[in-house]
Amino acid sequence: MERDAAFEWIESMLDVLDDEVMPVPVREVWVYGDLAIGLDPIDRLDVYLTKDILMRGDDEAAAEFENAHGVKGVGRTVRTEWAREHPEYVATNENGYAAPERCLAAHLLDATSRRTPSTDERTTGESPVHFEVCNASFDANVTQRLKGALSREAYGELLDPRGVCLWLDGRRDEEALERLREGSFAMPTLSDALGMIGADPEVADAAARTIRERRREQSGSSVRGDVV
Protein backbone atom coordinates (compact mmCIF):
# COMPACT_ATOMS: atom_id res chain seq x y z
CA MET A 1 0.00 0.00 0.00
CA GLU A 2 1.33 3.43 -0.91
CA ARG A 3 1.85 5.67 2.11
CA ASP A 4 -0.53 8.38 0.86
CA ALA A 5 -3.26 5.77 0.30
CA ALA A 6 -2.69 4.33 3.78
CA PHE A 7 -2.98 7.77 5.37
CA GLU A 8 -6.13 8.49 3.36
CA TRP A 9 -7.55 5.16 4.56
CA ILE A 10 -6.82 6.06 8.19
CA GLU A 11 -8.53 9.45 7.88
CA SER A 12 -11.58 7.80 6.34
CA MET A 13 -11.65 5.26 9.18
CA LEU A 14 -11.68 8.10 11.72
CA ASP A 15 -14.61 9.62 9.80
CA VAL A 16 -16.47 6.31 10.14
CA LEU A 17 -15.84 6.29 13.87
CA ASP A 18 -17.10 9.87 14.13
CA ASP A 19 -20.24 9.31 12.07
CA GLU A 20 -21.42 5.75 12.69
CA VAL A 21 -22.43 3.62 15.67
CA MET A 22 -19.90 0.87 16.32
CA PRO A 23 -20.61 -2.62 17.73
CA VAL A 24 -18.77 -1.59 20.90
CA PRO A 25 -17.56 1.82 22.15
CA VAL A 26 -14.08 2.68 20.85
CA ARG A 27 -11.83 4.80 23.07
CA GLU A 28 -8.46 4.90 21.32
CA VAL A 29 -7.08 4.52 17.80
CA TRP A 30 -3.37 3.96 17.21
CA VAL A 31 -1.31 3.11 14.16
CA TYR A 32 1.93 1.25 14.66
CA GLY A 33 4.66 -0.39 12.62
CA ASP A 34 5.24 0.54 8.96
CA LEU A 35 3.07 3.66 8.75
CA ALA A 36 4.23 5.01 12.11
CA ILE A 37 7.93 4.71 11.26
CA GLY A 38 7.57 6.44 7.91
CA LEU A 39 7.97 3.64 5.36
CA ASP A 40 6.70 4.17 1.80
CA PRO A 41 5.22 1.94 0.51
CA ILE A 42 4.12 -0.11 3.52
CA ASP A 43 3.69 -3.90 3.65
CA ARG A 44 0.76 -3.74 6.06
CA LEU A 45 -1.34 -1.10 7.77
CA ASP A 46 -1.43 -1.96 11.48
CA VAL A 47 -4.26 -0.40 13.51
CA TYR A 48 -4.77 -0.76 17.28
CA LEU A 49 -8.23 -0.12 18.73
CA THR A 50 -8.99 0.19 22.43
CA LYS A 51 -12.61 -0.73 23.07
CA ASP A 52 -14.90 -0.78 26.07
CA ILE A 53 -16.50 -4.01 27.26
CA LEU A 54 -20.30 -3.87 27.46
CA MET A 55 -21.21 -4.05 31.14
CA ARG A 56 -24.96 -4.67 30.99
CA GLY A 57 -26.29 -7.64 29.10
CA ASP A 58 -29.62 -7.59 27.26
CA ASP A 59 -30.83 -11.17 27.59
CA GLU A 60 -34.09 -10.53 25.75
CA ALA A 61 -32.28 -9.04 22.75
CA ALA A 62 -29.73 -11.86 22.81
CA ALA A 63 -32.47 -14.50 22.66
CA GLU A 64 -34.32 -12.59 19.94
CA PHE A 65 -31.25 -12.26 17.72
CA GLU A 66 -30.21 -15.87 18.24
CA ASN A 67 -33.67 -17.08 17.21
CA ALA A 68 -33.72 -14.85 14.13
CA HIS A 69 -30.11 -15.21 12.95
CA GLY A 70 -28.55 -18.10 14.86
CA VAL A 71 -25.94 -15.82 16.47
CA LYS A 72 -25.43 -15.84 20.23
CA GLY A 73 -24.34 -12.96 22.42
CA VAL A 74 -25.88 -9.96 20.65
CA GLY A 75 -26.87 -7.51 23.41
CA ARG A 76 -24.12 -8.91 25.64
CA THR A 77 -20.89 -8.68 23.65
CA VAL A 78 -22.01 -6.19 20.96
CA ARG A 79 -24.69 -3.51 20.92
CA THR A 80 -28.18 -4.63 20.03
CA GLU A 81 -29.00 -1.50 18.03
CA TRP A 82 -25.82 -1.90 15.99
CA ALA A 83 -26.53 -5.57 15.18
CA ARG A 84 -30.09 -4.80 14.10
CA GLU A 85 -28.87 -2.03 11.81
CA HIS A 86 -25.84 -3.93 10.44
CA PRO A 87 -26.56 -7.68 10.40
CA GLU A 88 -24.13 -8.00 7.47
CA TYR A 89 -21.24 -7.10 9.79
CA VAL A 90 -22.14 -9.47 12.63
CA ALA A 91 -19.22 -11.90 12.82
CA THR A 92 -18.85 -14.77 15.27
CA ASN A 93 -16.13 -16.74 16.97
CA GLU A 94 -15.73 -20.51 16.67
CA ASN A 95 -18.49 -21.04 19.27
CA GLY A 96 -21.10 -19.03 17.40
CA TYR A 97 -20.97 -15.99 19.70
CA ALA A 98 -20.77 -12.46 18.31
CA ALA A 99 -17.07 -11.54 18.44
CA PRO A 100 -16.61 -7.80 19.10
CA GLU A 101 -13.19 -7.60 17.43
CA ARG A 102 -14.42 -9.34 14.26
CA CYS A 103 -17.59 -7.25 14.11
CA LEU A 104 -15.57 -4.07 14.54
CA ALA A 105 -13.06 -5.06 11.85
CA ALA A 106 -15.80 -6.08 9.39
CA HIS A 107 -17.64 -2.79 9.82
CA LEU A 108 -14.53 -0.60 9.61
CA LEU A 109 -13.02 -2.44 6.63
CA ASP A 110 -16.14 -2.16 4.52
CA ALA A 111 -17.33 1.29 5.57
CA THR A 112 -13.86 2.82 5.36
CA SER A 113 -13.05 1.33 1.97
CA ARG A 114 -16.33 2.68 0.57
CA ARG A 115 -15.36 6.18 1.76
CA THR A 116 -11.78 6.05 0.44
CA PRO A 117 -11.52 7.39 -3.12
CA SER A 118 -8.21 5.64 -3.84
CA THR A 119 -9.56 2.20 -2.96
CA ASP A 120 -9.15 0.00 -6.03
CA GLU A 121 -11.36 -2.81 -7.28
CA ARG A 122 -10.04 -5.36 -4.81
CA THR A 123 -12.40 -6.65 -2.16
CA THR A 124 -11.94 -5.22 1.32
CA GLY A 125 -10.90 -8.66 2.57
CA GLU A 126 -7.77 -8.41 0.44
CA SER A 127 -6.71 -5.04 1.84
CA PRO A 128 -3.45 -5.32 3.80
CA VAL A 129 -4.95 -4.01 7.05
CA HIS A 130 -4.45 -5.69 10.42
CA PHE A 131 -6.54 -4.79 13.47
CA GLU A 132 -5.51 -5.41 17.06
CA VAL A 133 -8.53 -4.93 19.33
CA CYS A 134 -8.23 -4.87 23.12
CA ASN A 135 -9.86 -3.39 26.21
CA ALA A 136 -6.47 -2.00 27.34
CA SER A 137 -4.59 0.97 25.90
CA PHE A 138 -1.82 0.37 23.39
CA ASP A 139 1.13 1.10 25.68
CA ALA A 140 -0.30 -1.00 28.51
CA ASN A 141 -0.89 -3.94 26.17
CA VAL A 142 2.56 -3.66 24.59
CA THR A 143 4.13 -4.05 28.03
CA GLN A 144 1.76 -6.83 29.11
CA ARG A 145 2.33 -8.81 25.92
CA LEU A 146 6.10 -8.45 26.31
CA LYS A 147 5.98 -9.95 29.81
CA GLY A 148 3.92 -12.91 28.67
CA ALA A 149 5.94 -13.50 25.51
CA LEU A 150 9.28 -13.41 27.32
CA SER A 151 8.14 -15.93 29.91
CA ARG A 152 7.09 -18.39 27.18
CA GLU A 153 9.51 -17.31 24.44
CA ALA A 154 6.40 -16.76 22.30
CA TYR A 155 7.78 -13.80 20.38
CA GLY A 156 5.13 -14.01 17.67
CA GLU A 157 2.61 -12.63 20.19
CA LEU A 158 4.48 -9.34 20.61
CA LEU A 159 3.25 -5.97 19.38
CA ASP A 160 5.54 -3.54 17.61
CA PRO A 161 5.90 -0.81 20.29
CA ARG A 162 6.38 1.98 17.74
CA GLY A 163 2.91 3.47 17.74
CA VAL A 164 1.15 6.82 17.36
CA CYS A 165 -2.17 7.68 19.05
CA LEU A 166 -4.46 9.48 16.58
CA TRP A 167 -7.87 9.40 18.26
CA LEU A 168 -8.84 9.45 21.94
CA ASP A 169 -12.35 9.49 23.42
CA GLY A 170 -13.87 10.79 20.19
CA ARG A 171 -11.28 13.51 19.49
CA ARG A 172 -8.62 13.46 16.81
CA ASP A 173 -5.07 14.53 17.51
CA GLU A 174 -4.57 16.82 14.52
CA GLU A 175 -0.91 17.43 15.33
CA ALA A 176 -0.20 13.69 15.46
CA LEU A 177 -2.08 13.21 12.16
CA GLU A 178 -0.03 15.92 10.48
CA ARG A 179 3.24 14.49 11.75
CA LEU A 180 2.16 11.04 10.63
CA ARG A 181 1.38 12.42 7.18
CA GLU A 182 4.83 13.97 7.02
CA GLY A 183 6.54 10.87 8.42
CA SER A 184 8.31 13.07 10.95
CA PHE A 185 8.15 10.81 14.02
CA ALA A 186 11.63 9.72 15.08
CA MET A 187 11.35 6.00 15.75
CA PRO A 188 14.04 3.50 16.84
CA THR A 189 14.65 0.16 15.17
CA LEU A 190 12.28 -2.62 16.21
CA SER A 191 14.90 -4.41 18.32
CA ASP A 192 15.87 -1.13 20.04
CA ALA A 193 12.20 -0.36 20.72
CA LEU A 194 11.73 -3.78 22.33
CA GLY A 195 14.85 -3.17 24.39
CA MET A 196 13.45 0.13 25.64
CA ILE A 197 10.45 -1.64 27.18
CA GLY A 198 12.43 -4.35 28.93
CA ALA A 199 13.79 -6.98 26.52
CA ASP A 200 17.46 -7.95 26.76
CA PRO A 201 19.46 -7.15 23.59
CA GLU A 202 19.73 -10.76 22.38
CA VAL A 203 16.06 -11.43 23.09
CA ALA A 204 15.07 -8.16 21.43
CA ASP A 205 16.96 -9.13 18.26
CA ALA A 206 15.35 -12.59 18.17
CA ALA A 207 11.90 -11.15 18.85
CA ALA A 208 12.29 -8.52 16.13
CA ARG A 209 13.19 -11.23 13.61
CA THR A 210 10.14 -13.26 14.63
CA ILE A 211 7.81 -10.26 14.26
CA ARG A 212 9.18 -9.46 10.81
CA GLU A 213 8.88 -13.10 9.68
CA ARG A 214 5.29 -13.30 10.92
CA ARG A 215 4.41 -10.12 9.05
CA ARG A 216 5.87 -11.46 5.80
CA GLU A 217 3.61 -14.49 6.10
CA GLN A 218 0.43 -12.38 6.39
CA SER A 219 -1.72 -11.31 3.47
CA GLY A 220 -5.07 -9.59 3.13
CA SER A 221 -6.95 -8.25 6.13
CA SER A 222 -6.73 -9.78 9.61
CA VAL A 223 -7.91 -9.14 13.14
CA ARG A 224 -6.83 -10.26 16.61
CA GLY A 225 -8.82 -9.76 19.79
CA ASP A 226 -7.21 -9.53 23.21
CA VAL A 227 -8.40 -9.01 26.78
CA VAL A 228 -6.01 -7.70 29.45
Question: Which H or E run contains 162?
Answer: none
Q: What is the pLDDT of residues 177-223, one digit of tens each?
A: 999 999 999 999 999 999 999 999 999 999 999 998 888 888 889 99
Q: What is the pLDDT of residues 146-179, one digit of tens each?
A: 988 888 888 888 999 999 999 999 999 999 999 9
With vertex at residue 93, the alpha carbon angle to CA 152 and CA 87, rounded to the nearest 5 degrees, is: 145
Task: Kindly report the number of other CB atoms within 10 A of residue 186's CB atom.
Answer: 6
Average of per-residue pLDDT across 47-64: 84
Longest dimension (CA), the chain: 55
Q: What is the pLDDT of residues 99-136, one digit of tens each?
A: 999 999 999 999 999 998 766 544 455 789 999 999 99
Q: What is the pLDDT of residue 65?
A: 84
> Looking at per-residue confidence, does 78 or 218 come out higher?
78
Q: What is the pLDDT of residue 119?
A: 60
The percent of residues in the chain predicted with pLDDT above 90, rounded, is 70
Q: How far apart are CA 150 and CA 167, in angstroms?
A: 30
Average of per-residue pLDDT across 60-67: 82
Tell me the domain boundaries of the chain: 3-226
In the DSSP assignment, the letter for residue 27 is: E
With vertex at residue 210, the alpha carbon angle to CA 204 and CA 215, rounded to the nearest 5 degrees, is: 125
Confidence label for 18 from pLDDT (cuts 50, 70 and 90): very high
Q: What is the pLDDT of residue 124?
A: 53
Q: What is the pLDDT of residue 53?
A: 86
> Looking at per-residue confidence, does 59 or 88 come out higher?
88
Average of per-residue pLDDT across 28-49: 95
Q: How far apart are CA 195 and CA 204, in angstroms?
A: 6
